[in-house]
Structure 1
Amino acid sequence: MLARLQQRITLGLLACTAVWLIAWWRFSPPTAVAGGLLLLFGHAFFIGLEMLAMRQVNRADPAPRAGTAMLLRAWLRESLMAPRVFCWRQPFFADAVPDHLPADAAGRQGVVLIHGFVCNRGFWTPWLRLLRARGQPFVAVNLEPLVADIEAYRPIVDAAVARIAQATGRPPVLLCHSMGGLAARDWLRADGNALRAARIVTLGTPHQGTWLGRFSQSGSGLQMRRDGAWLAALAAGEPDSLRQRMQCWYSNCDNVVFPSSTASLAGADNRFVPGLAHVTLAFDPRVIEAVLADLAEDLG
């Protein structure tokens, strides 16, 4: 469903850009080019607004503050990364790399990949290619419907974990971006058996909510508000042993989950990486290399 929606948005945006260029080129090429760029990169303006809000809100956060130069670099990288994810991978290549459950999967460490809000499994395409090249079993889920409460995703996560566990004979590592980390935690709380997951690795997950949650009207968005009742109940229902098996990556330039330290959790292995915005955090080489190195230690 999301892939078709993003296909229409992307193709519509390209069509509008083409019409603008054709209509204005003979009158004013500079106007034609400027308008075309505005249509194609208008999202950068909204990312910039998020960055400005994040910089202000982070003034009271204990995480190291980002300077102007670092914020500008993060804004540029995120502005270039966003179209690759939301206008290319997710709409057109969501199933380019199928789930990998090879015949010799028994004994290996499997991975379940859980995306975030308004995403699909195409988000993980670079990761899926790397895992497949390593021969590592994985299942990447699609969390649907898009605007449901996070509890609605429990059966999807449960089915993916069951598939991996059946193929490998071992509980999988759950690799999660943004809201996906909350979906994983909620599933474990409902399941009641924390040992069904070997570890949970989260990238930019609003474990303590996000300032932007106050503007959301969707079910899951409301659940991600700062100091909300849903997040408090989630934390209260978790065993201490779970936190010890969680790895939380966060950054001081995350334009979606802020204040920055809200993506960390007391008792977890919190990994701070400076200068990365929300989507870029999931594809930074430092993060990828570290997560894959940890996975390699578990390979059978």
Structure 2
Amino acid sequence: MNARLQRIWVLLRLAAALFVGWRFGWAWGLPTLGLPAAVLAAGFLQLHWVNRPAPTWGQLLRAWAGEVLASELAFSWRQPWREWAEPDHLPAGATAGVLLVHGFSCNRGRWNGWMKRLRAQGVAFVAPSLEPAFGSIDAYADEIEAGVQRLKAVTGRMPLLCAHSMGGLALRAWWRRYGAGHAAPRAITLGSPHRGTRMAVLGAGVNAAQMRRGSAWLAELPGLPDADCFWTPCDQVVNPAETAILGGARAHRVDGVGHMGLVHTDAAWHCLQTALAGSSLGSVNTPRRI
């Protein structure tokens, strides 16, 4: 569903720019395409007063510039048009697997860069597109469980779980429903609103309401037993910034990067590689009670 909505959004933006250019001249039409970048700038400006310690103006400018590129790549190309450009990879004989979980208003195309690199390494991966797009986060637990089971069938062990934004909460909802039958997973979350976010009041749907600060749903959600949480003081979506840190998790601060840009950071990729190379991926024969 998100791919279809984002295709419509891209076409509407192009149509608006063509109309303005035809009606008022191309000196006005072409800048029309940049209106989302201007709106995005407002989201970064408020972080100077919301977060403590406050990010510097230089960090915010760098994060905004990177976020414009990351957002256009995601919402104008990969997600609307390239959702299945990198299919799930389940090679026979794979010894490690990764489950990739996207965030709010996104789809599996969010991970195209990571999936291409994992395929080149021979690492098995599954990346579901979570549906319904604006339904309850609890509804995503079944899709996540299906992906975990597919990876365990190939590798013989628990996969590494990696999630961006709302995907981190979807992992926690999955753990609440299915964790009793699994070994404790290693999880990496990138900009996930573990303690809610101020910006959720601007979102539509049940899942947006669940991500609001102080929501009853969020208060009842369990943590993850072994997690790395990446966060940034320049996160224009999940703020105040510390809300992206799950209690008991290993926190990793990344400066000068926005919400979408966290997926493109070397730090996050290196953490994934370290986890894959380590011994923290449990055997399928050791279920853990929660």
Please report the TM-score for the alignment, with normalisation by the length of structure 1. Answer: 0.88
Aligned to 1:277: 258
Equivalent residue for 1:70, pick from 48, 59, 63: 59
Superposed displacement of residue 298, structure 1: 4.8
Higher mean displacement: 115-124 or 185-194 = 185-194
Superposed displacement of residue 52, structure 1: 2.4
Question: Are residues 1:96 and 2:85 paired?
Answer: yes
The structure 1 segments of at least 4 consecutive aligned residues displaced by more than 6 Å after TM superposition are none
| C-alpha distance in 2 between matches for 1:299 and 1:103 | 22
| C-alpha distance in 2 between matches for 1:216 and 1:97 | 28
Equivalent residue for 1:172, pick from 138, 150, 159: 159
Aligned to 2:285: none
Superposed displacement of residue 270, structure 1: 1.0
Question: Are residues 1:268 and 2:255 paired?
Answer: no
Is the CA contact 1:114–1:140 (under 8 Å) kept in the aligned structure 2? yes
Count of residue pairs the alignment pairs up? 281
Superposed displacement of residue 194, structure 1: 7.1
Secondary structure of the 2:212 match is coil
Please report the TM-score for the alignment, with normalisation by the length of structure 2. Answer: 0.91
Deviations 1:275-295 (A, max 9, x none): 111000111123223322332
Equivalent residue for 2:27, pick from 30, 33, 49: 33
Aligned to 1:82: 71
Aligned to 1:42: 35
Question: Are residues 1:230 and 2:217 paired?
Answer: yes
Letter in 1 for 2:36: H
Is the CA contact 2:19–2:29 (under 8 Å) kept in the aligned structure 1? no
Is the CA contact 2:232–2:257 (under 8 Å) kept in the aligned structure 1? yes
Letter in 2 for 1:81: A
Against the structure 1 CA distance between its residues 4 and 277, is the aligned structure 2 distance closer, same or farther, given a 3 Å change threshold?
A: same
The percent of aligned pairs where both chains have the same amino acid is: 41
Is the CA contact 1:188–1:194 (under 8 Å) kept in the aligned structure 2? no
Is the CA contact 1:173–1:197 (under 8 Å) kept in the aligned structure 2? no
| C-alpha distance in 2 between matches for 1:56 and 1:116 | 26
Give unmatched runs, 5+ long, in structure 1: 26-31
Superposed displacement of residue 299, structure 1: 9.9
Aligned to 1:55: 48
Larger helix percent = 1
Is the CA contact 1:109–1:298 (under 8 Å) kept in the aligned structure 2? no
Against the structure 1 CA distance between its residues 93 and 233, is the aligned structure 2 distance closer, same or farther, given a 3 Å change threshold?
A: same
Against the structure 1 CA distance between its residues 197 and 136, is the aligned structure 2 distance closer, same or farther, given a 3 Å change threshold?
A: farther
Deviations 1:149-207 (A, max 9, x none): 10111111111111111111101111100000000011111114273452111000000
